[in-house]
Amino acid sequence: MINDFFTLAVRNLLHRKRRSWLTVIGIFIGIAAVVSLVSLGQGLEDSVEKEFESIGSNKLFINPGGDQTQGNTASGSTLTDEDLQAIKNVKSVDEAGGALFKTAQISYDDNKEFVVVLGIPMGEAKQIVETSWAMEVGEGRELRPTDTSSIVIGSAISDKFNTDIGIRSQLEVRNKTYRVAGILKPTGDPSIDGAVQLPIENARELLEAEEDTYDWIFARIQDGFEAEEAKEEVEEALRQRRNVEEGNERFTVSTQEDLISSFTSILNVVRGVVIGIASISLLVGAVGIMNTMYTAVTQRTREIGVMKAIGATNRQVMLLFILESGVLGLIGGGVGVLVGASLSSLASWGATQAVNIPINPYLGPELLLGSLVFSFIIGTVSGVLPARRAAKLEPAEALRYE
């Protein structure tokens, strides 16, 4: 019987094609927004997690200042050689290295831009810093300790100057000329892709930075230790060295999970805002379905009377109208899923081209089928009141209606 009612509901909607399509606009816009956002957001989250996995989960990231994600910040703090040594002395730390992260003006062919200048340590610490920032030379060679007039540039430096800058090109950093020795592969981090690398001692001299200070310290965790355990030990070591109580730190120690969690929290806020806006569209769509079904009851009063006269029960009449409104929601959901999936695929392709990191939209069955079920439920709920009105019509009164 349900199949018969479903077929009848679809047939009735096909007789009112224009009104049916106008009714589902609100539903399909809302579902398209939800599908595209969730799909793109999950794909971006998966991509970020993969990038962090390539860095390795055995890293700690230490920077001056408080935990910015919790609003506990402190200005004017720095990391020093003494901090670096204290971190190296922690039993759960295998090796550590510090780096500079400063902004300076560089020039190429009379064009000037402000970019990040990275001061990279040499020796074993160099590998820790480079893997922590996912830096890998794609063309040319890496920095050497003897480089005093050579630099390695990020993959996006050419884009900053809208020209092709290659190996052996010459750039001026704070009025000192450097030759490009290597070009990094894209990392997906704009600050790294648009940066230039120098050996840390040369960078300190060039940028007039304080001796024995760092903007970042990266630590590699010893095998057999958990990241959280190593994080707590490093935090305690730095507190003791600086003679500060817990909660008054002017440094932040983060694990890979902390960084991913921070990114996910920001992404969830954006998701919440957009889904909230999409919900308004869904509400408008639901009201549209309800209004259409009320109109249908009025226009089909005589038809309802005929149905009841030949034996249709109140429950059957109500079921028919509820199914019709549910099918309206399902049609809107189906169109919304197709549009949303197309939008997320297009946006993912554009983002991949922009950052050179593969971002694959998530289009799992639970998202697609869940959206269809949700839109059907919205339609069904929207049709309950009009369906009850139709079911309560008296057969004699309905047959006399013109």
Burial 2-38 (b: 16+ CB within 10 A, else e): eeebbeebeebbeebeeebeebbbbbbbbbbbbbbbb
Using the predicted structure, report yes or no on whether residue 392 has a pLDDT greater than 70. Answer: yes
Domain map (residue ranges) of the chain: 2-52+261-400, 78-249
* pLDDT tens readout for residues 50-100: 766 666 678 899 988 754 433 333 444 689 999 999 999 999 999 999 999
Q: Is 48 helix (H, G, I), strand (E, B) or coil?
A: helix
Pick the more confident residue, 277 or 148.
148
Predicted local confidence at residue 333, as pLDDT: 86
pTM above 0.85, yes or no: no
Among the listed ranges 146-150, 170-174, 295-299, 365-369, which one has the minimum average pLDDT value? 295-299
Surface-to-core class of residue 321, CB atoms within 10 Å of its CB (0-12 exposed, 13-18 middle, 19+ buried)? buried
Cα 338 to chain centroid distance, Å, stands at 21
151-165 mean pLDDT: 88
* pLDDT tens readout for residues 231-257: 999 999 999 998 888 888 888 898 877
**130 and 168 in contact (C-beta within 8 Å)?**
no
Would residue 105 be called left, alpha or beta, if left means φ above 0 and alpha means ψ between -120 and 50 degrees? Answer: beta
- Alpha-helical runs (H) found in 215-255: 227-242
**218 and 128 in contact (C-beta within 8 Å)?**
yes
For β-strands 170-173 and 195-199, DSSP reports them as: unpaired
Predicted local confidence at residue 179, as pLDDT: 94
163, two tokens: 């020209």
Give the whole-number percent of the chain exceeding pLDDT 70: 84
Surface-to-core class of residue 93, CB atoms within 10 Å of its CB (0-12 exposed, 13-18 middle, 19+ buried)? buried
Using the predicted structure, report yes or no on whether residue 305 has a pLDDT greater than 60. Answer: yes
Amino acid at 134: A
Among the listed ranges 108-122, 214-228, 378-392, which one has the minimum average pLDDT value? 378-392
Pick the more confident residue, 71 or 166.
166
Residue 356's pLDDT band (cuts 50, 70, 90): low
Residue 347's pLDDT band (cuts 50, 70, 90): confident
Predicted local confidence at residue 399, as pLDDT: 57
Rounded to whole angstroms, how far apart are CA atoms 232 and 20?
A: 61
Rounded to whole angstroms, how far apart are CA atoms 71 and 321?
A: 54
Predicted local confidence at residue 73, as pLDDT: 37
